[in-house]
Amino acid sequence: MEISQQRTCTNNLTDYQMKETDVNADKRTKDKPKGGSNDQWVLRLYVAGQTPKALTAFANLKNICEEQLKGKYSIEVIDLLENPQKGAADQIFALPTLVRKLPVPVRKIIGDLSNTERVLIGLDLLPAD
């Protein structure tokens, strides 16, 4: 039973892999996102293979995006085992790592994204108290 569940997650992770797009939003500021509520969110999830942590991070991210962004987002999954050079641009040093490319400023969240409140605050979808 665990194998079929893992295959389902694996297929979902593979389905969301997209071609890499050039997004010029690498400058860090302390501003809140400048995008309006209708803007597209560009998210990159860096993983090292299809490990349990990577699959959990992807499932958690997908759930958060569906609840909070309702179709106004794109997720790009980058497997650094296959393309290690792709992590250099975003200075990835731990995995899994979520990078919010748009709206600016760029934000990074490390881990399996299981703490929903922390992720929402990190993405500026929920104000920090």
Question: What region does 9 belong to: left with phi over 0, alpha with psi -120 to 50, or beta?
Answer: alpha
Compute how many other C-beta atoms are within 10 angstroms of the C-beta atom of residue 18.
13
Domains along the sequence of the chain with CATH? 2-17+39-122 (3.40.30.10)
Cα separation, 45 vs 59, in Å, equals 11
The amino acid at 115: N
What is the structure's pLDDT at 70? 93
pLDDT, one tens digit per residue, over 17-69 is 433 333 333 333 344 454 455 689 999 999 999 999 999 999 999 999 999 99
Q: What is the 3-state secondary structure (H, E, C) of 13-44?
A: HHHCCCCCCCCCCCCCCCCCCCCCCCCCEEEE
What is the structure's pLDDT at 58? 98
Cα separation, 17 vs 52, in Å, equals 17
Residue 61 belongs to what H/E stretch? Answer: helix 52-68
Across the range 117-122, mean pLDDT stands at: 96
How sure is the predictor about 14, in pLDDT bands with cuts at 50, 70 and 90? Answer: low
pLDDT, one tens digit per residue, over 58-112 is 999 999 999 999 989 999 999 999 999 999 999 999 999 999 999 999 999 999 9
Laid out side by side, the sheet with 97-102 consists of 73-79, 41-47, 97-102, 107-110
What is the structure's pLDDT at 38? 62
